[in-house]
Amino acid sequence: MHQLRKQCLELAEHRPRLVWSLLIGFAMIVALSIIGPVWYLIDLQKGLPDKAAIAQIGQMDQATAIYDDRDRLVFSIFKQQRIGTSLTGVSPHLIHAILAIEDQRFYDHGGLDFQGIARASLLMVQNYGSGKRPQGASTITQQVAKNFLLTNEASFERKIKEALLALKIERTYSKDKILELYLNEIYLGLGAYGIAAASLLYFDKSVHELNPAEAAYLAALPKGPNNYHPFRARERAIERRNYVIDRMIEDGYLKQADGEKSKKEPLAVTTRSRWRRSG
């Protein structure tokens, strides 16, 4: 009994020291869990393009366009089939289609769509083991960062760099300019870079002349042009185009009746051949 009492007194005597040791240990773990990622991000920032490089991303190779006296394109000389265009020269239908399918909250977020990230993460957990492809959560700004400043390497580090650059791009350019950069850079299949070149190549139309069905088809292409090839994968292409139209209706860009009418239109792709490659 005496021995047990002695042990209890010793434990009571050392209890404050034990509690403090546990608290200090816990605080160190918390500090390291915060400092580690912060240090990693700071180190990663050092290798990213600087402000000067970000300010230059709008300089792209473009085709030299030759027009006749009626302002119709005769042919173009190019290394890449790209014709730059301002956002004001783009059909509103195409802008709406791109926003509906690529980045619904583009004008609301600051470069990263945290709602989209949360939704994609939840779906990834729900679909774990099902074999379904994870849903992406990259914003248009992130895609601009990747297309202009990074590679297509599929890695966690590249995604972190993409997110950091997206925040910098948002501080450098207006929303309209970011969207314009995206529209002029994206690859849309058949050798066409940017929506102006794609509009001419697929529909023999200037980009401001596109109707909702044509705009929806072009908006369907950035994720995988070969998957929605107008001739080799026609049924899949129409299905994807109609899905984009449904998203435009859902987001209020098209009335239900107009959208249903657009979905019944044939995929009338008429490829343009008046391009001349240089170099």
> Tens digits of per-residue pLDDT, 111-136?
998 887 777 667 656 555 555 555 55
> Tens digits of per-residue pLDDT, 144-166?
998 888 777 777 777 888 888 99
| Shared-domain flag, residues 15 and 114 | no
d(CA 272, CA 63): 15
CATH number of the CATH domain containing 107: 1.10.3810.10
| Pairing status of strand 73-78 against strand 64-67 | antiparallel
| Shared-domain flag, residues 157 and 26 | no
| Shared-domain flag, residues 90 and 16 | no
Instruction: List the domain range (segments joined by +) for residue 16.
Output: 1-46
Domain boundary among 31, 46, 61: 46
| Shared-domain flag, residues 156 and 100 | yes
| Shared-domain flag, residues 71 and 35 | no
Q: Which residue positions in the chain have pLDDT lower than 70?
A: 1-47, 58-82, 120-121, 123-136, 272-279
Position 275 scores a pLDDT of: 46
> What is each CA distance from 250 to 245, 260, 261, in whole angstroms?
9, 12, 15
| Shared-domain flag, residues 38 and 68 | no
The total number of structural domains in the chain stands at 2
| Shared-domain flag, residues 30 and 57 | no
| Shared-domain flag, residues 142 and 262 | yes
| Shared-domain flag, residues 119 and 229 | yes
Rounded to two decimals, what is the model's pTM? 0.73
Which amino acid is it at 119? R
| Shared-domain flag, residues 187 and 233 | yes
Nearest alpha-carbon partner for 65 in 276, 213, 273: 276
| Shared-domain flag, residues 178 and 40 | no
